[in-house]
Every structure is written in C-alpha cells, then in structure tokens.
C-alpha cells in the first residue's frame, strides 16, 4: 500500500468556511450588534434612576468595540490594528473637530444667506449635553463598526476598495431612508456621507477618525444647532434657530442632511480624504488581498 501524503499546513474544513467573506460578515455583524445592543439594554435597566442617563449608550459603544475585537481575535486570528490605541487620541480629536467644523460650515453658510436665523441661546439644554454626546457616541461608533470595520473592510478583502466603497455607501444611504421626510436628495446625500466616512477609514485604515467624524457631525447638528438628525425628531440644543427657504436648501422635514449645502461640503471633504488615501497607496485592488495596507498610526500623519 502506498503512503498517503497529507499537507499539514492545509486549512481545515471549518477554517475554510470561516475564511469565506460572507461568513465573516455575518459573524462580525452578529457579534458586534449583540454585544453593543445587549450592553446598552442591560446597563439601561441597572442605571434607571440611579446613574447618569448617558451610561447605557456609552457602555453600549464600548461593548460593541469589545464584541468586534473578540470577533477579530477569534475568527480572523490577528491583532485588532484598526482599534489600536497608539495615535487614537489624535484621530478622535481630529474627527470630532472635523465633524463639528463641517456642520458649522453648513450652518454658517445658511446664516450668511439669511436662510438659518438664530433665535437665541438655550441655556437649559446644557444639562443634557453629556447624555446627548453619549447617545451620538453610541450611534457613531456602532454604525461605523458595522458599515466600515465590518462591511467595507470585509467586502474590500474580496472586491477591492472601489467596489467596497460603492456597496457600503449605498447600504449606508438605504439604512437612512426611514427618516421623516426622506426623499431622493436625502438618499443621495446619505450615500455621499457613506462615501465620506469610507474615505476617512481609507485615510487611516482605522476606526477612530471615521467614527469621531460621525459623532462630531451628529452631536453638533442635533445638540448644538437643534436640527433634526437623519429625519428623526428634533431635540432642543444650545442654539435655537429656524430655517426658511426651499426644501432643497433647508432639507425640509428631514433636516440639514437633505440640504444641497451638506452635499457640497461632504463631497468636498470626502474627495480630499480619498485623494489622500490614494496618494498614500491605501487603496486595495480587486482580489489583491496580499496588498492590504497596514493601518496608519495617527490622523495627524494620515490626513496632514
């Protein structure tokens, strides 16, 4: 009888299944969503009438990060470089400031043409800023984990950066359709916003910048300028004002995220980030898995 040669380095059947992109996407989405949602709900029960209102959302965001990290360590069996702490503070600061600046640019432009009129300052809203920030932190971190760290990154693994950017941006846009007053322009802008956050991921190859941009944008829009966020019910913020003008400029019931000015600023910022990513060789060609770039350490170096 002739001996049978066995390749000791060949992956097992389970390993081959776990290497499939669709399987990884499902496992990553499930683990991340379960950890974040469960922690938010449990802490919400415990913290009811005992702790600050922002605790459930903050803990939910941290748990979602932990769930994603657990998936990467167990399934992908690698270090979670995209959540590395070295340079994270700089990227988070740049993202929060950048998101706030973009909203400020949109609102400031509308003030200049007398479409947004400031009525006054709502000092009472200051007491809810911490809880509001925690809420937007959960939304920003959770959505960026699902859309960029999971969907974009794993689609890129098989299809390359461009296809992954298009698909994840389309899905991001569709996910924002249920908002009140959502129409064609709101959908287009949400897709562009998805591409903007995707470009931020590509610029650093890490989560912190794109998540912080998302948080900074939502928080400034809703809790500073009292505008509706993605068509959801408006929350009184620090600055009270009102919009007057055509819906394609004011965004109508959906809010400023359906304004052509938002489209212009997000498109410009996204193009700049994408150009940076391209110039630094951060994009991956179709099926060129071996060429996946390593994460950049800090935003100050990545987008400077």
228 inside domain: yes
Residue 74 lies in a domain: no
The answer to whether residue 72 sits within a structural domain is: no
pLDDT in tens, 242-251: 889 999 999 9
Does residue 50 have a pLDDT over 70?
A: no
Position with higher pLDDT, 179 vs 159: 159
Tokens of 127: 């007491």
Distance in angstroms (rounded) separating the CA atoms of residues 294 and 291: 9
Tell me the sheet residues that pair with 117: 242
Q: Is residue 6 part of a domain?
A: no
Closest CA to 282 of 222, 167, 198, 187: 198
- Burial string for 25-36 (b: 16+ CB within 10 Å, else e) reads bebbbebbbebb
What rounded mean pLDDT belongs to the chain? 89
- pTM for the whole structure: 0.88
Identify the sign of the CA torsion 135, 217, 175, 196.
Answer: negative
Residue 4 maps to a domain = no
- Longest distance between any two alpha carbons in the chain, whole Å: 91
What are the tens digits of pLDDT across the range 140-164? Answer: 999 999 999 999 999 999 999 999 9
In degrees, to the nearest 5, what angle opens at C-alpha 209 toward C-alphas 205 and 210?
Answer: 85
**Three-state secondary-structure class, residue 83:** helix
Query: Is the confidence at residue 7, as pLDDT, over 50?
Result: no
Classify residue 209: in a domain, yes or no. yes
- 70 or 227, which is more confident? 70
User: Residue 58 falls within a domain, yes or no?
Assistant: no
Total tally of structural domains belonging to the chain:
1
Rounded CA separation 70/51 (Å): 28
- Domain interval for residue 237: 87-286+295-302
Q: Is position 113 within any domain?
A: yes
pLDDT beyond 60 at 304 = no
What's the pLDDT score for residue 236? 85
């Amino acid at each position: 009888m002739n001996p049978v040669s066995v390749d000791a380095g060949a992956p097992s059947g389970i390993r081959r299944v776990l290497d499939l992109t669709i399987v990884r996407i499902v496992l990553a989405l499930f683990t991340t969503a379960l950890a974040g949602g469960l922690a938010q709900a449990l802490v919400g029960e415990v913290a009811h009438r005992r702790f600050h209102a922002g605790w459930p959302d903050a803990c939910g965001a941290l748990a979602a990060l932990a769930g994603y990290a657990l998936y990467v360590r167990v399934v992908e069996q690698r270090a979670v470089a995209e959540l590395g702490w070295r340079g994270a503070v700089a990227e988070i600061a740049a993202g929060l400031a950048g998101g706030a600046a973009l909203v400020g640019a949109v609102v400031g432009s509308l003030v200049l043409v007398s479409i947004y009129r400031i009525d006054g300052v709502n000092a009472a809203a200051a007491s809810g800023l911490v809880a509001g920030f925690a809420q937007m932190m959960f939304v920003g971190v959770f959505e960026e984990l699902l859309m960029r760290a999971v969907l974009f990154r794993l689609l890129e693994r098989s299809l390359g950066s461009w296809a992954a950017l298009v698909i994840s941006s389309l899905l991001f846009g569709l996910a924002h359709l249920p908002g009140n007053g959502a129409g064609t322009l709101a959908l287009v802008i949400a897709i562009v916003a998805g591409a903007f956050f995707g470009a931020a991921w590509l610029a650093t190859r890490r989560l912190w910048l794109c998540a912080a941009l998302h948080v900074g944008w939502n928080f400034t829009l809703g809790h500073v300028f009292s505008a509706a966020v993605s068509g959801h019910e408006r929350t009184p913020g620090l600055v009270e004002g009102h919009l007057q003008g055509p819906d394609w400029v004011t965004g109508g019931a959906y809010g400023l995220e359906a304004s052509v000015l938002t489209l212009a600023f997000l498109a410009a910022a996204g193009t700049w980030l994408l150009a940076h990513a391209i110039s630094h060789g951060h994009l991956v060609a179709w099926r060129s898995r071996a060429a996946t770039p390593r994460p950049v350490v800090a935003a100050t170096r990545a987008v400077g």
